[in-house]
């Protein structure tokens, strides 16, 4: 497993329950501002990580559940988010401005 993937998974693990962030924000934080698509690929492989990776807390920049079809079941991603208090309507996180969790602002590598 590459360092970059480990970084991505580590950041995703720091997302608090009830919050969400975007692929682009994570890509920027781990040092690949143009690598947002790679973050999506990392999520696709996240099951191979030893530790739990809450991939359902990662959405695109608009707060849409673009990755829901990669979860088992019909609506697991939405159900997981709703269990944490996030309101999701029609694959769209409501009040995403407040839900959004920016690692650049709220996370330091020191705290990891």
Partner DNA sequence: AGCCTGACCTAGG
Partner DNA sequence: TCCTAGGCCAGGC
Question: DSSP strand E in the chain: where?
Answer: 21-22, 58-59, 88-89, 92-93
- Alpha-carbon Rg for the chain in angstroms: 13
Spatial distance between the Cα atoms of 58 and 43, rounded to a whole number of angstroms: 9
Cβ closer to DNA: 34 or 110? 34
Of 72 and 110, the one with the shorter C-beta distance to DNA is 72
Nearer to DNA, 48 or 112 (CB): 48
The minimum distance between CB 109 and DNA, in angstroms, equals: 19
Smallest gap from residue 111 Cβ to DNA (A): 23
Q: Which is nearer to DNA, 41 or 109 (CB)?
A: 41
SS3 content of the chain, % helix, strand, coil (to 5): 50, 10, 40
Burial class (CB in 10 A: 0-12, 13-18, 19+), 1: exposed
Cβ 16 to DNA, closest distance in Å?
Answer: 17
Closest distance between DNA and the C-beta of residue 38, in Å? 4
Residues that bind DNA (CB under 7 A): 2, 4, 22-25, 32, 34-41, 43-44, 46, 55-56, 58, 60-62, 66-67, 69-71
Dig out the tokens for 89 from the structure.
Answer: 């309507």
């Amino acid at each position: 497993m590459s360092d970059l993937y480990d970084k991505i998974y580590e950041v995703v693990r720091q997302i608090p329950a009830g919050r969400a962030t975007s692929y682009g924000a994570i890509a920027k934080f781990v040092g690949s501002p143009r690598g947002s698509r790679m973050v999506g690929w990392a999520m696709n492989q996240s099951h191979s990580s030893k530790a739990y990776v809450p991939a359902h807390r990662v959405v695109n920049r608009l707060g849409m559940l673009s990755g829901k079809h990669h979860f088992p079941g019909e609506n697991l991603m939405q159900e997981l988010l709703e269990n944490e208090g996030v309101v999701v309507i029609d694959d769209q996180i409501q009040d995403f401005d407040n839900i959004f969790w920016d690692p650049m602002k709220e996370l330091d590598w020191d705290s990891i």
